[in-house]
Chain A
Amino acid sequence: MKRREFMKSAAVFVSGVAVSISALELLDPQEVLAKNPDLRWGFLVDTYKCVGCGMCVKACKIENDIPLEANVTRTWVERYVMTKQGEVLKDSPDGAQHGYTSKLIDQNASGMKKVADEDITQAFFVPKLCNHCELAACVQVCPVGATYSTADGVVLVDRKWCIGCGYCIMGCPYGVRFFHPVEHTADKCTLCYHRISKGGDTACAQACPFGARKLGNLRDPNDPVAKIILTQRVGVLRPEYGTKPQCYYIGLNEEVR
């Protein structure tokens, strides 16, 4: 075989193999199976039911190996106190993992603030977690594709591929991301993907004694969560960023951001 002929047939062979392999890539059976249009996970928070016990935060940290003593958390509960003077006070000490047992409001460097009971016009708790956005900013900005959306709508981080640049943390308008203190990669709520994909519930929803947190399939009209979202007045956090969050809130008001 002459050199020219060898080169020719080698080129034909390589391109032929490349084309057929890329066809296999296009029809990845796993991907086809995972693209289940009947499933889109969503979350519903009923702020009227939350009492700020912090059980969800604790359960989440234990379930997902986020050290309890580390000052970061995948989910947290915020307290809102509004006064007659029109002041809006908010706090979330340690993400509320120990529950709200004191009336003092933690204002960080400005110290603890006390509001007299008679001055309070309303007070409530708002649990927060990743919104698993339809158009997640964090997925868009990850430079290496370590953050991705699953076909059933959950935003996950690949700990083996994350370079730890922090761009996703900066890009998230909800502050749900942080650096894991042990893994040193970006970390966030996975909606307990390891549990829900086996038919279980999220750790936080399971731990909530009042049913303030619920997981559901938004594509199933008979799903209790989907039903509420369809039939009641619910809101999402900061829709102005165009991320289409998929965590819905009952009893959301303007002060909650």
Chain B
Amino acid sequence: MVEQAAQAAQMLVHGEAWTIKDLFVLPNEYVYWSIQIVLYPYMTGLVAGAFVLSSLYHVFGVEKLKEIARFALVFSFALLPVAMLPLLLHLQQPLRGIHVMVTPHFTSAISAFGIVFMTYAVIVASEIWFVYRKFIIESIHRLENKQRTGIDGLLLLIYRIISLGATDLSPAAIRADHKATKILAGIGIPVACFLHGYAGFIFGSVKANALWMTPLMPVIFIMSAVVSGIALCLICYAIFMWLRRWALPRGKNFFLPDQLAGTMNLNESDLREMQEHETTLTAKYLRIFMILAITLELLDIIFRGYTAVKSWDILRQVIYEHDFVKIFVLQYGIGNALPFILLLLPGLTTRRACVASVLVLFGVFMMRWNVVIGGQAFSLTFDGFMEYALPIIPHDIETFKEGLGGMLLVFSAPFVIFYFLNMIFPAFYNSDDEAH
């Protein structure tokens, strides 16, 4: 009996553990794409959004966003590997993931992933290099001239390697750096949009799926990406600034190498002013992109209802009945309308902007959920429904990866990466340079 049960458990096919079927569903139909595929466009969106935020300063010269732009750039780089993580966690054969890069089959939307992702990674990495080149060289000099501890030695080695031997700090060289930064940020915007629009294309081009198939999908994804990226940068920036403000009177300097602290002459009120200024200004851009995102999403639903093709019957049931709370209460209500009102009310404070941003992030997450899971909430035959029950307590590696555990793993990864990345490229380093 126990053996039989064990055998049956072993024969649990992928998707069976978390799929609840109702009415008529084909025997092979399950929610194959679960939480990790919800997180993939979510994390990619955050990467793209953070980069667009940093580019607002670099390309369009929104001078006032200088502080947050540098942070957004480094944070975008920390998010980058995490955009790939959900895909790897989701693959049934993760060790073969590299096949996408080595034998891409170009009729598939996914095959371009390797190329688009690597192009984007190279652009962000080189932009960071140009932005921090002066800092890298200065750090080499600083570290060479002091009594080094173990960490310092390691840091010096890293700086020496990533400096790539380009030690020229003449005004001409610095000017060239600035120019390169601007060009890279300029190229980076379309590439970031492509990276994410392309994630939308992966869904939008699945003709078998009535909910996904719309040419609006890539554009909707790009807009919500920018919204979520800006919101995340706003929150993280504000939180890290709060931490720094808390630490300063206690003689500590968070997120900055100790050696640099003295050079920056920080005081509490300066930090507060900087924080207020940057967050409220960023919130303005958040509002603009929110309007665009909501308009497109509503257009999609209205258009589907108005044209009412064959699949609308089942889509209507999914949208207005099965997923009503998830779509209209959680996504549009709490995730869109409420934060929009919070951002519009006069006298915006950092705290209120942060609350609104948390809601926005939640709203965009729910949008990804409603697209990815909602697209699998009905049978291909339009005669039945499927529900995804997120595995909370994992009982094997699969229910961990495709459940709450995997979700938390992906959510926490960028912060861990940022912690280490920030040691090398201090995101809050305020150089007196006119540009960057």
A→B interface (CB under 8 Å): 67, 69-73, 76, 88-92, 94-95, 107-110, 137, 139-146, 161-167, 169-179, 181, 184-185, 241-242, 257
Nearest CB of A to B18, in Å: 13
Known contacts: A163-B100, A170-B209. The answer to whether A73 contacts B28 by CB under 8 A is: yes
A161 engages B96 (CB within 8 Å): yes
A144 engages B105 (CB within 8 Å): yes
Bound form: Cα–Cα A140–B105 in Å? 8
Which chain A residues lie closer than 8 Å to B381 at the CB level? 90, 175, 257
Which chain A residues lie closer than 8 Å to B207 at the CB level? 137, 171, 173, 241-242
Is B119 in contact with chain A by the CB < 8 A criterion?
no
Is B63 in contact with chain A by the CB < 8 A criterion?
no
B99 engages A144 (CB within 8 Å): yes
Total of A-B residue pairs, C-beta within 8 Å: 156
A174 engages B100 (CB within 8 Å): no
Choice from A167, A177, A178, A179 contacting B110 with Cβ under 8 Å: A167
Bound form: Cα–Cα A71–B11 in Å? 8
A174 engages B93 (CB within 8 Å): no
Bound form: Cα–Cα A142–B109 in Å? 8
B111 engages A143 (CB within 8 Å): yes
User: Can you list 18 contacts pairing A with B, beta carbon distance less than 8 Å?
Assistant: A67-B11, A73-B28, A76-B28, A88-B383, A109-B23, A110-B23, A143-B109, A144-B99, A145-B105, A162-B96, A163-B100, A167-B108, A167-B202, A170-B209, A174-B380, A179-B13, A179-B32, A181-B14
B113 engages A90 (CB within 8 Å): no
Bound form: Cα–Cα A145–B100 in Å? 9
Bound form: Cα–Cα A117–B417 in Å? 65
Nearest CB of B to A166, in Å: 5
B100 engages A70 (CB within 8 Å): no
**Nearest 4 interchain pairs by C-beta:** A164-B92, A143-B110, A145-B105, A175-B26
Bound form: Cα–Cα A156–B109 in Å? 20
B→A interface (CB under 8 Å): 7-8, 10-16, 20-30, 32-33, 87, 90-93, 96-97, 99-100, 103-105, 107-111, 113, 202, 206-209, 379-384
Bound form: Cα–Cα A172–B207 in Å? 9
A72 engages B22 (CB within 8 Å): no
A241 engages B105 (CB within 8 Å): no
Apart from the given pairs A137-B208, A173-B207, 16 other A-B contacts in the complex at a CB distance below 8 Å: A70-B13, A92-B24, A108-B20, A109-B21, A109-B23, A140-B107, A144-B96, A144-B99, A163-B92, A163-B93, A167-B110, A171-B207, A175-B381, A181-B13, A257-B382, A257-B383
Which chain B residues lie closer than 8 Å to A73 at the CB level? 27-28
Known contacts: A177-B28, A185-B93. The answer to whether A171 contacts B16 by CB under 8 A is: no
Nearest CB of A to B104, in Å: 7
Bound form: Cα–Cα A257–B314 in Å? 14
Choice from B16, B25, B110 contacting A141 with Cβ under 8 Å: B110
Nearest CB of B to A155, in Å: 14
Which chain A residues lie closer than 8 Å to B380 at the CB level? 173-175, 257
Nearest CB of B to A96, in Å: 8
Nearest CB of B to A240, in Å: 8
Which chain B residues lie closer than 8 Å to A145 at the CB level? 103, 105
Q: Which residue of A lies closest to B16 (CB)?
A: A71
Query: Among A162, A172, A257, which residue has the most Cβ atoms of chain B within 10 A?
Result: A257
Which chain B residues lie closer than 8 Å to A176 at the CB level? 28
Choice from B11, B30, B90, B379 contacting A165 with Cβ under 8 Å: B90
Q: Which residue of B lies closest to A140 (CB)?
A: B107
Which chain A residues lie closer than 8 Å to B382 at the CB level? 257
Bound form: Cα–Cα A73–B209 in Å? 21
Which chain A residues lie closer than 8 Å to B13 at the CB level? 70-72, 178-179, 181
Known contacts: A69-B8, A72-B13, A137-B208. The answer to whether A179 contacts B27 by CB under 8 A is: no
Q: Which residue of B lies closest to A107 (CB)?
A: B23
Choice from B8, B25, B105 contacting A108 with Cβ under 8 Å: B25
A162 engages B93 (CB within 8 Å): yes
Which chain B residues lie closer than 8 Å to A177 at the CB level? 28
Which chain A residues lie closer than 8 Å to B32 at the CB level? 166, 169-170, 179
Bound form: Cα–Cα A108–B30 in Å? 13
A70 engages B209 (CB within 8 Å): no
Choice from B15, B29, B99, B113 contacting A179 with Cβ under 8 Å: B15
A69 engages B7 (CB within 8 Å): yes
B113 engages A143 (CB within 8 Å): yes
